[in-house]
Each structure stands twice: as C-alpha cells, then as structure tokens.
Amino acid sequence: MNFSEVFKLSSLLCKFSPDGKYLASCVQYRLVVRDANTLQIRQLYTCLDQIQHIEWSADSLFILCALYKRGLVQVWSLEQPEWHCKIDEGSAGLVASCWSPDGRHILNTTEFHLRITVWSLCTKSVSYIKYPKACQQGITFTRDGRYLALAERRDCKDYVSILVCSDWQLLRHFDTDTQDLAGIEWAPNGCVLAAWDSCLEYKILLYSLDGRLLSTFCAYEWSLGIKSVAWSPSSQFLAVGSYDGKVRILNHVTWKMITEFGHPATINNPKIVVYKEAEKSPPLVLGRLAFPPPRAAAGPLSSTESKYEVASVPVSLQTLKPAPDRANPRIGIGALAFSPDSCFLATRSDSVPTAVWIWDIQKLRLLAALEQLSAVRCFQWDPRQARLAICTGGSKVYLWSPAGCVSVQVPGEGDFQVLSLCWHLSGDSLALLSKDHFCLCFLETEQGVGTAFGQRGDHT
C-alpha cells in the first residue's frame, strides 16, 4: 500500500469521476482536476466565488460547481476547456443543484423550495417543476436514467410525481399516505419506489412505477420511527434503521419483514468476532529522547499507532446516554450500507458511536463488530468487493473484510485527521479527506486486505 503526497482541499469537496479517470478537488474558488492514477493536474478552473458543491456528469465530460451564496452554477468541460456555462438563478436563490442522468440537464432548487428549474445545456431551454418538498431526500432518479421521482407538498398534503427524463413530461402523480414525507428512493432495478415518513411516525410505503401502492410497513407506533433507509444493490432487500436501535430487513417478494437486527450494548455470542482497537505504544529508544518534546509529539495521542485485538466474549461496548431535553437525540441507526454483492450490511448505532456492526445477510446474523477508540464518522464499501473502509476523525484509516481487520497510520508531517473518505470505481485506491487537505492511498487489491496493509498496520 502506498500513499500519495498531501494536497490542499476546501469543504471536503473531492470526487472521482464516474469513469474513474479523473479526481476533482476544490480549493476555495478553484477547481482542480487531476489524473486519478498519476495525480497530475489536467485542468484548473477558476470560479467567481467559493465553491460549495461539485458534481460530475454521468459521462464524466462535464463538472458542475454550485456557488449557493451567489445563486450561481458554473459548468466546465473537460474536452473543451475554453467552453464554460454560467447559470444565474437571480433573486430566486439556490439551495441545491444536481445533474440529470443524461449529463446534459441541470436541476436547480430555488430558495424556500419554491420550484426546481431544469436547464438544458444543449438547447438552452428552461423547464419548471413546481411544489418540490424540502425534505432529506426529495429527488431520486432510476439507475437507467429514464425516470425522476419528486417529493411534493401542496395544499398541506404530500405527493409524488414521476417524470420522464427525456422530455420532463409528467408520467404519474399520486398522493402518499404520510403525515410529513421525509424521503424517497428508487430500488436499484427501478421497479419500486420507497417513501418514508418523518421520525414522528413509523411508516414506509412501497410504490410501483405506475403509482400503485404495493405495501405499507409499520413496525410500531407512538415513538420515534425511521432514521435511515438503504436498498441492497440486488433490490432484494430494503434495510430500515429505526430510533429503537434496530434494523428491519424487508424482502422484495411480499415486502414483509424477514428479520430484525438489534444492537445490544453487550455481545455474548462466541460465534461473533469482536475486533477491539488498541493503542500500540512505540518502543522508547534511550539516548534519543528530547526535552521539551517536539511539537508534533507533544500533541494528543491521535497519531499513536493502533492495532486490532480479538476480544473474548462477553464484550461490553461504550454507550452514550441521550440528553432527553435536546432535539435530534443520539439514538437509533444513523448509518447503514450494503456491500456491493448484497452479502453484508454495515450499520452504526448512534447510541454506540464507536462501533461498526457487520451483518451476514445470507445467514441473517451478526458476523463481526468493530469497536474503535473514537466515534465512527464515516464508512464506505469498496465498489468491487466486500471490503469496508472506516474513519474516525483521527490519523488512521481502518479496513474490514471477511479475512480480517487492519488499522493503517496515514504517514506525513503533522496530524492528518481523516474526516471522510471515498473509493475509486475500481477499488484500487481510496481518497482520504481532512479539513484542509486530502491524499490518496493505493491498494494492492490482488493481495487482499491483510497483506496489502501489512506494511503499515496490524491485522488479526
């Protein structure tokens, strides 16, 4: 495993292109496009103000930069660097911007969610979509790019509109039996649309492409409900994370629950492998100690190397007691993600913030649990295989695979705090993002997790 040098970054804006050839990053008002393998700069673009959002077109030929403060979107071309496009929403303002699947239309959401403006880069035509709802996930495209589902709010009721992306004509329009629609998401196969209510009412509804209600699922009443939702890549399972600390798995045949996964504070089953991160103290070399210690060494222990140890059951995990007088309590399943082969599910319970739980979907049981020294900030699956990358805001990155676990120290001067990460399409490299910098680590995928990381970390 090799690490690149460290590059400057702003606002954690760093994304690989969909074709995997390029890596875009932002430094205030500059957009830097690099070769994803050599990291040589291919293009450098200058925007009119600080960039707050970037997004690649699906064909990797264009890149969008949103300047929300100014109500502007600037679009740049990789094939024709001299070509550029500026979209000004004017007094309507701008709160969100995204590409359509064809990579030739841009959807801008104005302030207060008054409307969505669809701009065509080819014909320069403009279309308007009224009544978009301000919610967590109000726009979702089918994976084949043919249809758009939009959450709407009009006359104090929730609706969903399904539009055809080729001409933006309305295909279906129907109301949803929700009090306050919180999000919608297509299944990866594009056949079923999931819509879920706000946390005040546990309800998830499943609709067909023509707007028919296929099923409604409610696990309990009179308590905080759904917190997170994820489809499996195979579209066979829908995972619903709840505020009661459980994940419920629905099947695609009957849309009934086939199992539920609890997240207890104590693990007693000896068949479950519990990996516990432990600090690995560096050996002291007499005669080389300096006083006062160097500035880097005098800081916190976040740069101390660590390793994983297999803990013997029973294992008690660190839990947080939520503050009852504060909004958005730290309870429930805050994050969940399926592996690309749909065989594993990774979850994080916000009341056990230092742990990642990995479930075997084929056997419907807990396979492993990883307890970190710090709270887990982000985790993401390798797009090509069952390998999970985790970061906790420290100077290390962690990887899990069925073969084992590894903790890897990010080299370099100072303390590189990994706040987020993203995989390359091939799974051969991983971008590690800190507050002001980013670097790439290149993985030797053919050797597997253990040997690929053996030079810089320990695994069990």
Q: How far apart are CA 52 and CA 99, in angstroms?
A: 15
Residue with tokens 């056997």: 363
Calculate Rg over the CA atoms of the chain: 23
Going along the chain from its start, the domains and CATH numbers come out as 1-130 (2.130.10.10)
Q: How far apart are CA 281 and CA 300, in angstroms?
A: 13
In this structure, are residues 128 and 117 in contact, taking their beta carbons and an 8 Å threshold?
Answer: yes
Q: How far apart are CA 127 and CA 139, in angstroms?
A: 16
Q: List the pLDDT tens digit at each of the 460 positions of the chain.
A: 899 999 999 999 999 999 999 999 999 999 999 999 999 999 999 999 999 999 999 999 999 999 999 999 999 999 999 999 999 999 999 999 999 999 999 999 999 999 999 999 999 999 999 999 999 999 999 999 999 999 999 999 999 999 999 999 999 999 999 999 999 999 999 999 999 999 999 999 999 999 999 999 999 999 999 999 999 999 999 999 999 999 999 999 999 999 999 999 999 999 999 999 999 876 655 555 544 444 344 334 446 789 999 999 999 999 998 887 788 889 999 999 999 999 999 999 999 999 999 999 999 999 999 999 999 999 999 999 999 999 999 999 999 999 999 999 998 777 899 999 999 999 999 999 999 999 999 997 554 443 334 333 344 3
Residues 6+ apart with CB under 8 A from 379: 335, 337, 346, 348, 356, 388, 389, 390, 391
Q: Output the CA angle 298-299-304, nearest 5 degrees.
A: 100
